[in-house]
Amino acid sequence: MKALFDQVSAKCSQITTQKYSTSFSLGIKFLSPTIRPAIFAIYGFVRLADEVVDSFHDYDRKGLLVQLRAETYAALENKISLNPIINSFQQTVHQYQIDVELIEAFLDSMEMDLDKQVYTKQLYDKYIFGSAEVVGLMCLKVFCNGDVNEYNYLRHSAMKLGSAFQKVNFLRDIKADHYELGRMYFPNMDFNCFTEEDKTLIEQEIKAEFDEALKGIVKLPRCAKKGVYLAYIYYKSLFRKIQEIPAKHIMEKRVRVPDFQKALLMLNTFFVPQAPERLSANVG
């Protein structure tokens, strides 16, 4: 029975999300139950590709990514895959009409991670778009559930939120990225002589994106608002901890938010800021 296989596929995506990211899983709990499987499916697929390029160093990562790309496109065409995670992802893509261009951009960014390189501004922007902003747009497709006007209106904020999340991750994981994976994401930066000015410039950029993102979060559909807001305040908390660390010590440890603090953050979801004006007044 295909229905049973689809249920198993959805469960695989959920387990993958919960095993790899307790924080993201926590945010999903605050989404409406009707959209949780779709967000699990998106994260499961994203996590699968990310693991190929970040973790499978004893294997042919390029070959595995080529295989993943081919299996993904075949699943989108055939509406089935024997890979449970890809199968649940293709279901979500079809159900919520997620643009294939977003998937292509994401996989292109994953391919960029296969080679050690110093990122120029152009490559950096391309990577941020494909690795983070398009993931926000995929989720937004689910949140808006076919409402094109709503999607277009919230698109900018969703991209800024994804970008801010990714740049916080870059700062948090700077030691592993630089020394273990040989990656230098921030353009025109030398982390062998990383200064307070360098760090401040990056932080100002992230803060501006968080501010833009919040404008959209408060206008999200009810099914998504609390879950996305929880992710937002979690990353803002992580960001504030990073801001407190001097530039010369940024590579010494990986910053994290303790579990007890995560529990306190959950209480804040009951106080999501209200939109200053109704969405209908802004959609042409």
By three-state DSSP, how is residue 184 classified? Answer: strand
* Burial class for 209, CB neighbours closer than 10 Å (0-12, 13-18, 19+): buried
pLDDT score, position 257: 65
At residue 193 the predicted structure's pLDDT band, cuts being 50, 70 and 90, is confident
Query: How confident is the model over 219-232, as pLDDT tens digits?
Result: 999 999 999 999 99
Residue percentage of the chain with pLDDT more than 70: 85
* Phi, psi angle pair for 34, to nearest 5°: -70, -25
Alpha carbon distances (Å) from 163 to 4, 129, 240, 272: 36, 7, 17, 21
3-state percent helix, strand, coil for the chain, nearest multiple of 5: 75, 0, 25
Average pLDDT, the chain: 87
Chain-centroid distance, C-alpha 178: 20
Task: Give pTM, 2 decimals.
Answer: 0.89
At residue 23 the predicted structure's pLDDT band, cuts being 50, 70 and 90, is confident
Could you tell me which residues come within 8 angstroms of residue 206 by beta carbon, excluding any fewer than 6 positions away?
A: 164, 167, 168, 171, 239
Q: Token pair 């609390």 is at which residue?
A: 226
pLDDT score, position 174: 76
Residue 260, pLDDT above cutoff 50 = no
The C-alpha atoms of residue 281 and residue 209 are separated, in whole angstroms, by 24
Cβ contact 116:73 at 8 Å: no
The C-alpha atoms of residue 135 and residue 166 are separated, in whole angstroms, by 11
At residue 265 the predicted structure's pLDDT band, cuts being 50, 70 and 90, is low
Nearest Cα to Cα of residue 129 among 150, 146, 153, 107: 107
At residue 88 the predicted structure's pLDDT band, cuts being 50, 70 and 90, is very high
Cβ contact 92:38 at 8 Å: yes
Can you give the residue range of the structural domain that contains 131?
2-281
Q: Which range is least confidently modeled, 96-105, 157-166, 187-196?
A: 187-196
Query: How confident is the model over 28-72, as pLDDT tens digits?
Result: 999 999 999 999 999 999 999 999 998 998 999 999 999 999 999
We report the CATH number of the domain holding residue 168 as: 1.10.600.10
- Please state the domain count of the chain: 1
Q: Token pair 């042409």 is at which residue?
A: 284
Q: Which range is least confidently modeled, 4-8, 114-118, 145-149, 162-166?
A: 114-118
Dihedral of CA atoms 171, 133, 29, 236 in degrees, nearest 10, equals 40
Residue 279, pLDDT above cutoff 90 = no
Could you tell me which residues come within 8 angstroms of residue 119 by beta carbon, excluding any fewer than 6 positions away?
A: 127, 184, 185, 186, 187
- Count how many Cα atoms sit within 13 Å of the Cα of residue 274 in the half-sphere of its side chain: 3
pLDDT score, position 170: 87
